[in-house]
Amino acid sequence: MSLSSPSKRRDVDVMKLMMSDYKVNLVDENPANFYIIFHGPKDSPYQGGSWKVHVELPEGYPYKSPSIGFCNRMFHPNVDEMSGSVCLDVINQTWSPMFDLLNVFEVFLPQLLLYPNPSDPLNGEAAALLMREPERYKQKIREYVDKFGQAAPLLDDEDDDDDDDDNDMSDEDD
């Protein structure tokens, strides 16, 4: 495949995702803006949870990294609990055109969930809990998975067009 056409490469990467086991929903038929359902890795406190992840591919993809954010809440040192943004070096600093979108969902995000980096936190509470009380940290993850870690089906466009982004974050606050 020729890397001379970033848009062709983008389309191929998105197609690979769609043909894998992931549920992918393009926004307005645009392969540079879509949602994907991501499942927590096996043998982790996130196992059994599913998250709706918003992916935006910049104009220069694959030379520029994708923008990735969780739509439903997650308790993790490197994920901002309210905005869902992800702090991941391989996406933010060390991205390479050799990576593709399958790498993001099959390797990078699972690795991030399995091996959090509490020294560079977006969620200070999660980082502190991980370092001081690892068992309580895992318990809190499980609480979040039970409460927020069930991604809404992707094909819910008919009934609530504009406000589905807001609802995922504020279902129940105790």
Catalytic one of 87, 101, 104, 109: 87
Distance CA 74, CA 50 (A): 10
Q: How far is CA 151 from CA 54, 71, 109, 125, 148, in A?
A: 12, 8, 16, 23, 8
Note if 87 is an active site residue. yes
The contacts of residue 50 (CB under 8 Å, 6+ apart) are: 37, 38, 39, 40, 149, 150, 151
Please identify every residue annotated as catalytic.
87
